[in-house]
Amino acid sequence: MSHPKNQPGAPEQHDSLSEQPAAGARSRVERLTADLERHNYLYHTLDAPEISDDLYDALFHELQTLERLYPRLRSGYSPTLRVGGGLLDGLTKKNHSRRMYGLENVFSGAELRNFLARMRRVLPEAPLLFWCDPKLDGLALEIIYENGVLTEALTRGDGASGEMVTDAVRTIQTVPLRLAGAGPFPELLEVRGEVIIFKKDFAALNERQEALGRKQFANPRNAAAGAVRQLNIAVAESRPLRFLAYSLGSVIWSPAPASGRQHDVMERLATWGFLTPPEGKLCAGVGEVETYADFVRERRPQFTMEIDGIVIKQDSLEAQEALGFTARAPRFAVAYKFPASQVETLLRRIDVQTGRTGVLTPVAVLEPVSVGGVMVSRATLHNEDEICRRDVREGDTVIVQRAGDVIPEVVGPVPGKRRAGSRAYVFPHVCPACGETAHRETGEAAWRCGNLSCPAVRLLRVVHFVSKAGLDIQGIGQKRIGQFVGAGIVQSPADLFVLTVEALLHFERMGEILAKKIVSAFDEARLSATLPRLISALGIRHVGGQTARLLAGRYRTLDELGRADAETLQSLPDVGPEVAASIRNFFDSPTNRALLVRFRELGLWPQGATSASGENALRGKSVLFTGSLSLPRARALELAEAAGAVPASSMSKKLDYLVVGEKPGGKLAKADSLGVAVLDETAFMALLASAGL
């Protein structure tokens, strides 16, 4: 794709235009903008250019010249904004106005039928009409338009908030900078979709990397995601990115033209100038959905982009609203994933690695091979039992598969291809990092290194602490932490906050600017850490982000959490005996207690949001909705979450509140029998109001 790149070099034209009166210039700028938009769309979105690259460049250059002469004529959607030369200091985070959910996956026709049957159970009147399209494998993005003009773009991030990547997204040629057509346009329109790289563009990109002696990209998705999230906007511009739109976030449009179906949304997106997933289809009934899945699965190699399944969406937007979301995913849509692609390759050897929790994980070191378009050279072998069960041996030809987008795994040896004289693999019972004897508890599959000062465990705990799952300290990764731990200046996460510029200057290729930046990154993280992040950063087994948020909603400080006994912990939703025991174990360890003392001394001691006077009765409480409320279910959930409540996915006696609308169904009776508190809509609204919502 070369056409509208317009770097310097295009002939300077129309010098005399500088003498034009501003009114003439204005109409010329408008004409040029509209023409360039059209040619851009024809070239990049429809793949059907009408003019030569040279002519396009000349028009583009003329517009640039006019805008330079009359800067006030440069509109917020000018095609010249696509030329990104900027450099950002960092990516700013911003909340999505509506959460960007992931999708639940199904892998077989039976699972799909189950999902759709559940949809019908939840909402019997839901029509059996589904909009289906291929599942794209890229980076999910939300692009915001105000009165038809692009104002912001955000990555999905953790679903609640994403990173602002507006400048990079403007360089993507298939993203309209203003909506096409005559309007009227919504006051606010959030378009959601995926940034991808077409297969042929990816191959060319990697060839170019190779010619330049640079590292190849593992797959189109990494190359796309990496480019959008770069601080250097020129990187996004230099990669052949495309944006394909598949759904909407918030829309403010009054009076909204009637468009109650996903199918209409897709048509509307296309008329506004968006590229949409190819081969989308409206399917009536489960049978048609399955036929469509077969069709896409068979045609998968012919698709211009990597796809890993299909997405099935309830076509009625009203039914979508009514079905709403579970804690993780919509109830109105599902991803039907295709079976992983499998290939054969040589298993060179088996390495054993010690992880953050001391678990020894066997890793297959493979002759590099492409699996479903991704180069794979290492794959997991899970644990000792799995290796035995499959009788995988070093030197075997093995089958490797990528199940969806997860880590590749070794399925097993290829029968009949084993070399003569091969020997069964013997799993080592010592830690490869510290040499200490490992142990395996009854009922557990994993061998573990129990050495509290094992260098591998120590390193990975600190790496986890700063990672996205922990305090999310930007610019500090495993490599940097490895240097600090290797030099002995960091042994626990607390040591990070006493690092000095002088101490860092001893490291190779570390100047004063970088050293200061690192020290202030730690300081900033110390001051801005929130309780949920800190709990998650501790790396307590079985306590991920979701549980950390829940705990932070219930306990005000780490001390309070550390004092909770196992029984109290188990009264929380999603906390079973195993999680409770693991939390207790953590706080009972003298080493961990000493760590917390240091955190407090260092001023790394965030307070949870639980209000001391307890006015907000929803914070940290689990809620479930049933029956129809006067507001859409999704909105009710959003409000509950904003008050700090945790949405539950099913009834249990640990549920705090069942919020009951009209025609509640069986859940109400169940709540009574389980002794769960029931709120009607008025009572729920009152609790929201007391939380300031």
The catalytic site residues sit at 135
Q: Is 316 in the site for ligand IVH (CB under 6 A)?
A: no
Choice between 192 and 667, CB closer to ligand IVH: 192
Q: Which residues of 591-610 are buried (b: 16+ CB within 10 A; e: fewer)?
A: ebeebbeebeeeebbbebbb
The distance of Cα 606 from the centroid of its chain, to the nearest Å, equals 26
Q: Is 190 in the site for ligand IVH (CB under 6 A)?
A: no
Q: Is 194 in the site for ligand IVH (CB under 6 A)?
A: yes
Choice between 196 and 551, CB closer to ligand IVH: 196
**Cβ 147 vs Cβ 167: under 8 Å:** no
**Cβ 172 vs Cβ 241: under 8 Å:** yes
89 labeled part of a ligand binding site:
no
**Cβ 184 vs Cβ 343: under 8 Å:** no
**Tokens encoding 627:** 């029956």
With CB under 6 A as the contact rule, the residue among 25, 32, 59, 103 that binds ligand IVH is: 103
Detail the DSSP E strand segments found in 156-214.
161-163, 188-196
With CB under 6 A as the contact rule, the residue among 73, 311, 449, 660 that binds ligand IVH is: 311
Residue whose C-alpha is closest to residue 636's, from 333, 332, 322: 322
Provide the minimum distance between the beta carbon of 102 and ligand IVH in the complex, in angstroms, as a whole number: 5
Provide DSSP, 222-252: HHHHHHHT-SBHHHHHHS--EEEEEEEEEEE
57 labeled part of a ligand binding site:
yes
693 labeled part of a ligand binding site:
no
With CB under 6 A as the contact rule, the residue among 24, 76, 86, 102 that binds ligand IVH is: 102
* Residue 373: other Cβ atoms inside 10 A: 16
**Cβ 207 vs Cβ 297: under 8 Å:** no
Choice between 58 and 335, CB closer to ligand IVH: 335
Residue whose C-alpha is closest to residue 490's, from 448, 524, 531, 518: 518
Which residue reads 């492409």 in tokens?
Answer: 370
Contacts of 539 (CB under 8 A, 6+ apart): 356, 357, 461, 464, 465, 470
Choice between 335 and 454, CB closer to ligand IVH: 335
Query: What does residue 183 show for φ and ψ, rounded to 5 degrees?
Result: 85, -170
With CB under 6 A as the contact rule, the residue among 266, 269, 333, 494 that binds ligand IVH is: 333
Choice between 136 and 548, CB closer to ligand IVH: 136
* Residue 690: other Cβ atoms inside 10 A: 13
With CB under 6 A as the contact rule, the residue among 64, 247, 354, 383 that binds ligand IVH is: 247
Provide the minimum distance between the beta carbon of 380 and ligand IVH in the complex, in angstroms, as a whole number: 21
Provide the minimum distance between the beta carbon of 135 and ligand IVH in the complex, in angstroms, as a whole number: 4
145 labeled part of a ligand binding site:
no
With CB under 6 A as the contact rule, the residue among 324, 330, 413, 608 that binds ligand IVH is: 330
Return the residue nearest ligand IVH (CB atom).
140
Residue 396's alpha-carbon distances to 346, 365, 587, in angstroms, are 6, 11, 45
53 labeled part of a ligand binding site:
yes
Choice between 404 and 562, CB closer to ligand IVH: 404
**Tokens encoding 234:** 């020129």
Query: What does residue 557 show for φ and ψ, rounded to 5 degrees?
Result: -140, 170
# chain residues binding ligand IVH, by CB under 6 A: 15
**Cβ 431 vs Cβ 438: under 8 Å:** yes
Provide the minimum distance between the beta carbon of 311 and ligand IVH in the complex, in angstroms, as a whole number: 4
Choice between 103 and 462, CB closer to ligand IVH: 103
Residue whose C-alpha is closest to residue 393's, from 369, 409, 408, 414: 414
**Cβ 146 vs Cβ 136: under 8 Å:** no
How many whole angstroms separate alpha carbon 494 and alpha carbon 502?
18
132 labeled part of a ligand binding site:
no
Provide the minimum distance between the beta carbon of 139 and ligand IVH in the complex, in angstroms, as a whole number: 9
Stretch that binds ligand IVH, among 45-53, 95-103, 231-239, 263-271 (CB under 6 A): 95-103
Write each residue from 570 to 599 as x if it is in contact with ligand IVH (CB under 6 A), else as -, in one continuous string.
------------------------------
Site for ligand IVH, residues 112 to 141, rule: CB under 6 A? 133, 135-136, 140
Site for ligand IVH, residues 255 to 284, rule: CB under 6 A? 277
How many whole angstroms separate alpha carbon 169 and alpha carbon 176?
10
Stretch that binds ligand IVH, among 79-87, 327-335, 426-434, 614-622 (CB under 6 A): 327-335
434 labeled part of a ligand binding site:
yes
With CB under 6 A as the contact rule, the residue among 77, 243, 246, 684 that binds ligand IVH is: 246
Q: Is 170 in the site for ligand IVH (CB under 6 A)?
A: no
Q: Is 101 in the site for ligand IVH (CB under 6 A)?
A: yes
Choice between 325 and 684, CB closer to ligand IVH: 325
Choice between 330 and 539, CB closer to ligand IVH: 330
Maximum C-alpha span of the chain: 88
* Interface residues toward ligand IVH, by CB under 6 A: 101-103, 133, 135-136, 140, 194, 246-247, 277, 311, 330, 333, 335
Output the known binding site.
53-57, 133, 156, 194, 313, 337, 431, 434, 449, 454
Output the known binding site for NAD(+).
53-57, 133, 156, 194, 313, 337
